């Protein structure tokens, strides 16, 4: 099992450009999450999908959109990138949302720089 | 708002010594905690978890202690090895409200030879 995979690993965008970060999991998990990680700050939840067909806003959703394409895949889209979105983005999955087990499994991350 | 934090941003430990990484949490309703390890350039990895009905839980070379009275969590690593060098952070959740995990900022553990 590959676990949680993310593409791309690195990306540089110019302000105003758009892009989609891809995430896939092969653990048959119901729930998937997108976080951003900034220096000196903990992981902050952008959006999550408790189950296929549902998505909900997290702590910092502004400037992002998500799509739960199917049970395996959960993408994050930046429609018009801003320098404030420079960060490392992590996708995670868990068997369920709001119920045990609560452990989340993380992908390797995408390092995004917006100039 | 509710938050999870850490006392020390960087901890330097000699190889072979024991490491203790601390975490303070402010949400007294949190009843489940996880410690994650994040190596440079990688995603966080689960280390160990503990429920609030326990004071201590042991894994392989790691022990988590929970003091609910002072809302304090610690991760002890025995015989620290160079491979233990990473950022460690705790996460909490109030399972009764089906809330999401809240993550702390992390402590960097540096293992010196």
Query: Tens of pLDDT along B15-34?
Result: 999 999 999 987 899 999 99
pLDDT digits (tens, 9 = 90+) for A71-90: 999 999 999 999 999 999 99
Mean pLDDT of the A96-114 span: 87
Q: Is A106 on the interface with B (CB under 8 A)?
A: yes
* d(C-alpha B32, C-alpha A7), whole Å: 31
Task: Please indicate if any CB of chain B lies within 8 Å of the CB of A99.
Answer: yes
CA closest to B1 among chain A residues: A59
Position A97 scores a pLDDT of 72
Q: From CA A45, how far away is CA B111, in angstroms rounded?
A: 30
B3-40 exposure pattern, b = at least 16 Cβ within 10 A, e = fewer = ebebeeeebebeeeeebebbbbbebeebbbbbbbbbee
In the predicted model, what is the mean pLDDT of chain B?
Answer: 89
Mean pLDDT in residue range A32-43: 89
Tokens of B93: 């959740």
Which string of DSSP letters, residue by residue, matches A14-36? -TT--EEEEEEE-S--SEEEEEE
User: CB-based contact (8 Å) between A100 and chain B?
Assistant: yes
Q: How far apart are CA B4 and CA B23, in angstroms?
A: 7
Is the confidence at residue B111, as pLDDT, over 60? yes
- How is residue B96 written in tokens? 């009764």
Q: Catalogue the E-assigned strands of chain A.
A: 4-7, 10-13, 19-25, 31-37, 44-49, 56-57, 64-68, 74-78, 87-94, 105-106, 110-114
pLDDT band at B98 (very low <50, low <70, confident <90, very high): low
């Amino acid at each position: 099992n590959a676990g949680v995979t993310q593409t791309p690993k690195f990306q540089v965008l110019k302000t105003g450009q758009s892009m989609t970060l891809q995430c896939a999991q092969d653990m048959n998990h119901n729930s998937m999450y997108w976080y951003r990680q900034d220096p000196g700050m903990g992981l902050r939840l952008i959006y999550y999908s408790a189950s296929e067909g549902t998505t909900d806003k997290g702590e910092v959703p502004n400037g992002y959109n998500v799509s739960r394409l199917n049970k395996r895949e959960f993408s994050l889209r930046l429609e018009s990138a801003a320098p404030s979105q420079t960060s490392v983005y992590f996708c995670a999955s868990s068997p369920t949302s709001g119920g045990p087990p609560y452990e989340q499994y993380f992908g390797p991350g995408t390092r995004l720089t917006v100039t | 708002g509710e938050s999870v934090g850490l006392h020390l941003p960087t901890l330097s430990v000699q190889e072979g010594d024991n490491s203790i990484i601390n975490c303070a949490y402010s949400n007294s309703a949190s009843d489940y905690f996880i410690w994650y390890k994040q190596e440079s350039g990688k995603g966080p990895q689960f280390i160990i978890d503990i429920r609030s009905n326990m004071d201590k839980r042991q894994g392989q070379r790691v022990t988590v202690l929970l003091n609910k009275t002072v809302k304090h969590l610690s991760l002890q690593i025995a015989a620290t090895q160079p491979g233990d060098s990473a950022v460690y952070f705790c996460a909490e959740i109030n399972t009764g409200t089906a809330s999401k995990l809240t993550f702390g900022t992390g402590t960097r553990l540096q293992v010196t030879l």
